Amino acid sequence: MSLATSPAIWAIGDVQGCCRPLDSLLGHPDVAADSQATFWFAGDLVNRGPDSLGALRLIRSLGERAVCVLGNHDIHCLAVAAGVRKSSKQDTLQDLLAAPDAQELLDWLRHQPLAHYEHGHLMVHAGVHPAWSPEQTLEYAQELETLLRADDWQHTIIELFGNKPDRWEAGLKGYDRLRAIVSTLTRMRMCDAAGHMDFKHKGAPDAESGLLPWYELPQRACAQVPIIFGHWSTLGLLNTPTLISLDTGCVWGRQLSAVRLQDRHLVQIHCPESKKPG
pLDDT at 190 over 90: yes
Share of the chain above pLDDT 90, in %: 94
Name the pLDDT band for 2 (thresholds 50, 70, 90). confident
The pLDDT score that the predictor gives to residue 4 is 85
Q: pLDDT, tens digit, for every residue of 167-183?
A: 999 999 999 999 999 99
Measured at the CA of 153, the angle between CA 152 and CA 158, to 5 degrees, comes to 120
The answer to whether the beta carbons of residues 228 and 246 sit under 8 Å apart is yes
**The one-letter amino acid at 174:** G
Q: How far is 118 from 98, CA to CA, in rounded Å?
A: 35
The pLDDT score that the predictor gives to residue 208 is 86
Average pLDDT of span 229-236: 97
Task: Name the residue among 212, 141, 131 with its Cα closest to residue 170.
Answer: 131
> Exposed, middle or buried by CB within 10 Å (0-12, 13-18, 19+), for 63?
exposed
Q: pLDDT, tens digit, for every residue of 36-92?
A: 999 999 999 999 999 999 999 999 999 999 999 999 999 999 999 999 999 999 999
* Backbone φ, ψ for residue 12 (5° rounding): -120, 135
Element (H, E) at 213: strand 212-213
Helices 52-61 and 19-27 pack at an angle, to 10 degrees, of 30
What is the SS3 assignment for 83? coil
CA distances from 78 to 61, 155, 174, 276 (A): 20, 11, 20, 24
Task: Name the residue among 193, 192, 195, 190 with its Cα closest to residue 180.
Answer: 195
Higher pLDDT, 1 or 108: 108
Q: pLDDT, tens digit, for every residue of 240-263?
A: 999 999 999 999 999 999 999 999
Q: How far is 155 from 84, CA to CA, in rounded Å?
A: 8
Supply the mean pLDDT for the chain: 96
The pTM assigned to this predicted structure is 0.97
Q: pLDDT, tens digit, for every residue of 129-167?
A: 999 999 999 999 999 999 999 999 999 999 999 999 999
Q: What's the distance, CA 140 to chain centroid?
A: 16
